[in-house]
Amino acid sequence: MGPLLALAAFGAAIGLGDREIHVFERAAAKEIKGKLQGPDAQVRVQVVPDPIGVLWGALDSATIEARDFSVDGLPLFTEPDRSKAGRCGKLVIDLKEFELRGLKVASLHSEIPACRYDRSLAWKSKTFRLSKSGTGRGTVRIRESDLAAFILHKYHEIKEVKVKVYNGVVWVEGYGEFLIVKSNFVVIADLKALGTKLELSDAKVYFDWRKADALATKTLLQTLNPVVDFDKDLGLYDAVTVDRIKLEGGILEASGVTKIPTKPLTAAIFDTSKASRTPPVRPSTGSSSLLPWFLVRS
């Protein structure tokens, strides 16, 4: 009867776990939404327990979905001084139609394996904090009209601009008031990935439809480059390292290595609580001592 009773208890725990999982998902989504701006912001969190490690709080995956929001920096960091007792096989981040420091992004999708989280904090307050990030892949998609708006936002020298993205090139056309000239201009260029930066390269530059000389070309490119710096412009630190760019049909698509960066000392988007920095201690009595974090009621 021992194995049968254990199996029955396990089945009951799974049933209870479904309810507690939903409690955690709602709490995590509410917390994340509180860090975002915008009246139409939507956030959804979904966790899938590992079928083998379910009794120890191991997660097969955790997915964060959000859309229609704005934010001034990365809303999720790794905090390596927290407990690493919790395992998360894959962290999925799926964001759509959001604005990050003046840049409207159509979508960002990333899948990061082999993450760790603070299991004790999850037990106590249904709060998800990463303590270790793996390395995965991700893709960012930006519309040409949104890239043009960002260029106007970023560069005060440029007063008017239109951007076209097609057939592997970027066409930037507008009017600028530069140190060397006040003029209409056109730049036809490739877009090159340099780590966290996207820069115009192999460019042809025209002022009032006359081909610019070498000095004028260099000066304009120095003004425009980098077009986007994921670290300095967007506050993403080393979360995205681009190694592939696709320019087609009005969409800039940048793909590369992704991770959740370590929380800097100055980051203030998430709280800086020192609670639960030590490995969790199992309750000394009761059957809950073997229950995963999502079965432990607060």
Rounded Cα–Cα distance for residues 291 and 15 (Å):
12
pLDDT score recorded for residue 244: 97
* Assigned token pair, 286: 């009761």
137-167 pLDDT tens trace? 999 999 999 999 999 999 999 999 999 999 9
Contact 225, 199 (CB under 8 A): yes
pTM score, whole prediction: 0.82
Where helices occur in the chain by DSSP H, the ranges are: 2-34, 119-125, 144-154, 214-224
221-233 pLDDT tens trace? 998 999 999 999 9
pLDDT score recorded for residue 17: 62
Contact 180, 214 (CB under 8 A): no
Beta-carbon neighbour count of residue 208 at 10 Å? 10
Rounded Cα–Cα distance for residues 263 and 106 (Å):
25
* Assigned token pair, 75: 């809303």
Give every residue of the chain whose pLDDT is below 70, as ranges: 1-17, 54, 180, 266-298
Name the DSSP letter for residue 54: G
pLDDT score recorded for residue 24: 87
pLDDT score recorded for residue 146: 98
